[in-house]
Amino acid sequence: MRADIAAPFAEATAAGLRWELAWSARRRPALGVHGVALGPALLELRVLGASHQVVCGRACLQETGPDFTETVACLPGRTAALPASSVCERARVRYEFAARVDSGPDFAARAAEVRDSVAADPAGLVGVFPGSPLAVTALRAEAVPGGVRWRSWHAYPQRREIVATVSVVTYR
């Protein structure tokens, strides 16, 4: 799903991104939202400007587990850099996160491919900003055995950087 964002793209960099995992469904103001039910998870993919948030809840009501939010954004008050990886376990939920920054001469082709492929995916959401078709924030989800996985891409054309993340949630 494509969301054409009315807000102008704010210059951001990979170095400015922070990660937050909150074991509650605290939603931040979003510019685009897309709900996706996959396997045991009910996801809300949210574009927050040059960043994202995923709200993860249980689709299977007979099983309990905490709702939580993953946020990758320029977060005020947070100073720790985006981690390369992290693993958290809580109340029969295992959450794994990994991030990397790519830059290089193929930036334009990669950003356009992410934008177009995620926009065509019913389990995806891509925010495209006015004036810069390569300034995108994209999220794509898919079911995995016992859980769900989502990927995100944050493309920053001014620095030719793409921040790619992958998160996997499994339920025990």
What are the distances in angstroms from CA 112 to CA 38, 56, 72, 167? 26, 27, 21, 22
The per-residue pLDDT for range 51-95, each reduced to its tens digit, is: 899 998 865 433 555 588 999 988 777 777 889 999 999 878 899
Q: Say if strands 52-58 and 41-47 run parallel, antiparallel, or are unpaired.
A: antiparallel
Tell me whether residue 82 is exposed, middle or buried, using C-beta atoms within 10 angstroms of its C-beta: 0 to 12, 13 to 18, 19 or more: buried
**Interacting residues of 109 by C-beta distance below 8 A, sequence separation 6+:** none
| Number of other CB atoms surrounding residue 163 within 10 Å | 24
More confident residue, 104 or 87: 87
The per-residue pLDDT for range 105-131, each reduced to its tens digit, is: 899 999 999 999 999 999 999 988 777
Domain boundaries, the chain: 2-171
Distance of CA 116 to the CA centre of its chain: 16
Q: Hey, CA dihedral for 53, 16, 93, 64, is it positive or negative?
A: negative
> What is the reported pTM?
0.89
